[in-house]
Structure 1
Amino acid sequence: MSKAGSAAKVKLSSYDDLFGNAEEKTGSEEQIIRAKLTDLHEFRNHPFRVLDDEKMEETTESISKYGVLVPGIARPRAEGGYEIIAGHRRKRGSERAGKEDMPVIVRNYTDDEATIIMVDSNIQREDILPSEKAKAYAMKYEAMKHQGRKGNGNTLDEVGEAVGESGKTVQRYIWLARLSDELLELVDRKKIGLVQGVDISFLSEDAQQWVLVILEESGANISTVQSAKLKEYGKSGELTLPMVRLILTEEKPKERKVTIKSEKISQFFSEEYSSEEIEGIILQLLEEWQKKQ
């Protein structure tokens, strides 16, 4: 798929599309208030981290000068106060700026509606970690199923629509969400690759703990061959701690690298072909050659 084709799939929602026009609703249906920061509570199982990083410094500086320009979104809590749906970073920035309150739009969203809006209002950030995306997609997928949509490929496509990701990609992240928090952290730190993480997500909680222990002991990385073995033995119920240790500590085959000079390639491919396209064609031709042997 071309870059233009991928970009065309991204559906960016405007403020009014996502939250509606605040001026059109009144009464018990919606309120725009200045809520005390102490009355604003984090969304239950909020998957996105709010860090005091460089971007938070910029947010804090902006709020100090101009205040919160775009109201947050919240809903009333049975226990009192409000649950933040969108605006966790704005709340933290307001706290750091010494503010006591911030503007929020209060609506009576259902759990599923609130979850979908919470995910969609955060998922388009550029600095999202794999663990955040995995948990967010899993939450949105479950919310959409609760709304009466069947768990099929179309629903998965809808889950990733906000950022132009396919249903297959969404499914992989949902599988990734089954990893323990400790293993997810290793994925975030790139100690475990996404493909390997998905394979390990099919293991039981005990088996995942075995993997974590062996990785911490050995400091080794997991290859795709090793993760595939773990998944295979895990599905058959044959996986044990000694077997996990054996698989993860076995000597990995040396990686072979083959470089073909560009002048040799250029006689077969015009400049219109990208490196990825050239690689794909070469691999396809090699597969056809192998079948003829």
Structure 2
Amino acid sequence: MKSKSAEKIRLTSYDELFGAEDNNVEGTYTTVPLSQLRPFKNHPFKVLDDEKMQETVESVIQHGVIQPGIVRPCADGYEVVAGHRRWRACELAGKAEMPVIIRNLDDDAATVLMVDTNIQRENLLPSEKARAYKMKYEALKHQGSKGDKHTADAVGEKAGDSGRTVQRYIRLASLIDGFLELVDTGRVAMIAGERLSFLKPEEQEMVLGAAGNIGAYPSPVQAGQLKAMSEEGTLSEGSIYALLVKKENGGQSVTISSKKIRDYFPPAYTKTQIEEVIYSLLEQWKQEKEEETDAGNTV
């Protein structure tokens, strides 16, 4: 007889491999050929042939697909709503078919389910969350959710993100791919990406090109300045280079130990959440200093 602790270990491993889903899903259980499966339109989550995928492949070879995918009928087969990684694992394992639950879902319901069954995965990139949250936000609005704040709160509920955090991720979805990749790799801070997202795509391309040539990417403060220039109609190639070169030739760099910084935050805080708090406090401090200067000048 297996111990409760052994069962817990197995279940945790399974959830990591396949993702947690509602076991009481309504629909028709069946097995379909892999050739009849189609990816979800604009699926925002990456399916990588990495180490975790190899673990999933080995599990499929040894035990089969224990948790069926969720699909819905489409014109030439079945669109995968949940189970893209299992589908890929079946392909790599040499399987010809996969167990699924067929559900009749409209576009909005399918989108919400697709996001909810993936959003709790570990190590999601900012670009994945940005596109996923935008899709779910629009789906909930179509379903009749009232109020931007209420909808944003509902979008982030499954992953434990606040409505404000959701809105920031949704802003990132307006970034061009080049900047999204820089946010994913940490070369551009999320708060800087949020501010750059207000620039028109052609303006973002200009900034990205200049940054690449100089080798210096906009800081959160500079991103705010670029946003202001865009709104004022003064953003140009010359003004972009002048701003970024100023940073490259700027003052003394400051390095702070990440361990020291983490001492001030709860253990569960992610790098992105820590950055948001730090930049928010710095902005507040900067504004207070500017107000003090202005007050001194008026005396």
The one-letter amino acid of 1:157's match is D
Distance 1:285 1:244 in 2: 25
* Residue of structure 1 in register with 2:83 after alignment: 87
Distance 1:151 1:164 in 2: 19
Distance 1:258 1:160 in 2: 31
- The reply to whether residue 224 of structure 1 matches residue 229 of structure 2 is no
- The reply to whether residue 155 of structure 1 matches residue 151 of structure 2 is yes
Deviation string 1:134-155 (CA, Å, 9 cap, x unpaired) is: 0000000000000011242111
Where does structure 1 lack aligned partners over 5 or more consecutive residues? 1-12, 23-29, 263-273
- The reply to whether residue 240 of structure 1 matches residue 236 of structure 2 is yes
* Residue of structure 1 in register with 2:70 after alignment: 73
- The reply to whether residue 42 of structure 1 matches residue 39 of structure 2 is yes
Deviation string 1:172-203 (CA, Å, 9 cap, x unpaired) is: 00001000112111111111110110111000
Please state whether the residue corresponding to 1:182 is helix, strand or coil. helix
* Residue of structure 2 in register with 1:108 after alignment: 104
- Give matches, 1:165-204, under 5 Å: 165-204=161-200
Query: C-alpha displacement at 1:39, in angstroms?
Result: 0.6
CA distance 1:106–1:285, change in 2 (3 Å): closer
CA distance 1:102–1:169, change in 2 (3 Å): same
CA distance 1:215–1:46, change in 2 (3 Å): same
Distance 1:156 1:133 in 2: 13
* Residue of structure 2 in register with 1:252 after alignment: 250
Please state whether the residue corresponding to 2:168 is helix, strand or coil. helix
The one-letter amino acid of 1:187's match is V
Task: Tell whether the 8 Å contact from 2:175 to 2:196 is kept in structure 1 after alignment.
Answer: yes
- The reply to whether residue 275 of structure 1 matches residue 273 of structure 2 is no
**Amino-acid identity (%):** 47
Query: C-alpha displacement at 1:247, in angstroms?
Result: 1.3
Where does structure 2 lack aligned partners over 5 or more consecutive residues? 1-18, 267-276
Question: What is the alpha-carbon root mean square deviation over aligned residues?
Answer: 2.9
* Residue of structure 2 in register with 1:7 after alignment: none
Distance 2:215 2:35 in 1: 43
Query: C-alpha displacement at 1:255, in angstroms?
Result: 3.9
Distance 2:110 2:179 in 1: 28
Query: C-alpha displacement at 1:21, in angstroms?
Result: 3.9
Query: C-alpha displacement at 1:252, in angstroms?
Result: 3.0
The one-letter amino acid of 1:204's match is K
Task: Tell whether the 8 Å contact from 2:195 to 2:227 is kept in structure 1 after alignment.
Answer: yes
Distance 1:206 1:167 in 2: 29
**Normalising by the residue count of structure 1, what TM-score does the alignment of the two structures yield?**
0.80
Please state whether the residue corresponding to 1:160 is helix, strand or coil. helix
How many residues align? The count is 255
**Normalising by the residue count of structure 2, what TM-score does the alignment of the two structures yield?**
0.78
Please state whether the residue corresponding to 1:203 is helix, strand or coil. coil
Task: Tell whether the 8 Å contact from 2:73 to 2:102 is kept in structure 1 after alignment.
Answer: yes
Query: C-alpha displacement at 1:14, in angstroms?
Result: 6.9
Distance 1:72 1:158 in 2: 24
Deviation string 1:97-126 (CA, Å, 9 cap, x unpaired) is: 000000010111000000000000000011
Distance 2:49 2:265 in 1: 38
Please state whether the residue corresponding to 2:218 is helix, strand or coil. coil
Please state whether the residue corresponding to 2:30 is helix, strand or coil. strand
Distance 1:198 1:252 in 2: 23
The one-letter amino acid of 1:104's match is V
Q: Which structure has more RCO (C-alpha within 8 Å, separation ≥ 6)?
A: 1
Query: C-alpha displacement at 1:254, in angstroms?
Result: 2.3
Task: Tell whether the 8 Å contact from 2:171 to 2:197 is kept in structure 1 after alignment.
Answer: yes
Distance 1:256 1:170 in 2: 30
Distance 1:200 1:95 in 2: 40
The one-letter amino acid of 2:129's match is K
The one-letter amino acid of 2:125's match is L
Distance 1:56 1:241 in 2: 44
Distance 1:170 1:39 in 2: 34
2:29 to 28, 32, 51: 32
The one-letter amino acid of 1:162's match is K
Deviation string 1:2-28 (CA, Å, 9 cap, x unpaired) is: xxxxxxxxxxx9743xx7444xxxxxx
Please state whether the residue corresponding to 1:186 is helix, strand or coil. helix
Task: Tell whether the 8 Å contact from 2:152 to 2:167 is kept in structure 1 after alignment.
Answer: yes
Distance 1:210 1:150 in 2: 37
